[in-house]
Amino acid sequence: MEDESRVALEQTYNVAKLFGLNITLLFVLEESGIWSKFFSDKQKKDMDEEIEAQLKDLALKTQKDSGCETNYLIRKGRVSSVILDVADEINASYVFMKTISNEEGKPKSIGANAYRVIRKASCPVVSINGKGYYDGCRSILLPLDLSNETMQKTIKAVEFAKYFNASITIVSAVHEKAGSEYGEKMGVRLLEVKKFIVESNIACWAKLIESKEKQGIVGSILDHADEQGDIDLVMIMNQQEVGVTGMKIGITAESFIKNCEIPLMIIKPVATSEKLLKP
């Protein structure tokens, strides 16, 4: 098992325990894979049996290590389609997966299957791209912008913070060339969200940072997370504009997914004309 896949699995333990969830391990066999035509039916059967044996052992180990009921499924078909179908079938609360294809000598990119899952999943997807993690959650990073929909993740952050007894750091990055009016609006938004979080009895810090052109907004926010040192989960929305929900991942969200090595929860926005939080 790849390091990122192992981390993705182990990251499910605390979430499953705290929320009283089961863990389902899913292995997808791509029948149309390029290598399938080179194997005989017997070889394919032997490989299928070996995969099931290994997955069964992994499920037993996971159940022992996590203390949570663990099941496993082997399905055939297109990877992203199977993941989405199974998530709906079992009414999954979260999907944990490695999302980045990082081939040597090539720039980081979101794998095609991961992209489809993030874009279409009805439940939050947790992106795991780092090889190390803290066993638990000390602080949640919540990047904010001025859209109403981005406020939806605040509710999820509060829910997680309560379960993990974690703090929340809310941060907005303002480009150095942005006007003062935009910065003032972002400052008001930060205070609005901080007030809501503090009234939920959660420790909260708010930071408005200037984004240098070279770093960009996402780079500035992730640099801040590294400097803080105790961020164990970042929460973002998967689109910038709800009007294109289901069509594409927003540019900012895509940059977070590519560059964030901290576990990243990607939440699909729900269209709403109402503000979720009020000052």
Look over the chain and give the mean of its residue pLDDT values, rounded to a whole number. 83
Of the listed ranges 130-139, 189-198, 217-226, 253-262, the least confidently predicted one is 130-139
CA distance to 66, 81, 89, 131, 237, per residue, from 2 (Å): 19, 22, 27, 9, 27
Max alpha carbon distance in the chain (Å)? Answer: 69
Of the listed ranges 1-10, 59-68, 198-207, the least confidently predicted one is 1-10
Is residue 212 within 8 Å of residue 220, measured between CB atoms? yes
Supply the pTM of this predicted model. Answer: 0.84
Residue 128 structure tokens? 């795991």
Region 78-101: mean pLDDT is 92
Residue 32 has pLDDT above 70, yes or no: no
Of 221, 173, 211, 172, nearest in space to 192 by CA = 172
User: Rounded distance, CA 170 to CA 194, Å?
Assistant: 7
Residue 34 has pLDDT above 80, yes or no: no
Residue 1 has pLDDT above 60, yes or no: no
User: Rounded distance, CA 80 to CA 263, Å?
Assistant: 20
User: Rounded distance, CA 205 to CA 140, Å?
Assistant: 10
Q: Strand 125-127 and strand 204-211: pairing?
A: unpaired
Residue 240 has φ and ψ, to the nearest 5°, of -90, -30
- pLDDT range class, residue 145, cuts 50, 70, 90: confident
Asked if CATH classification 3.40.50.620 holds for the domain at 3-127, the reply, yes or no, is yes
A 10 A CB-CB count for 220 gives 21
Q: Which CATH architecture has domain 139-262?
A: 3-Layer(aba) Sandwich (3.40)
Q: How far is CA 220 from the centre of its chain?
A: 19
Residue 209 structure tokens? 């940072």
DSSP string, 30-99: -TT-TTGGGS-HHHHHHHHHHHHHHHHHHHHHHHHHH-S-EEEEEEES-HHHHHHHHHHHTT-S-EEE--
Q: Domains of the chain: which residue ranges?
A: 3-127, 139-262
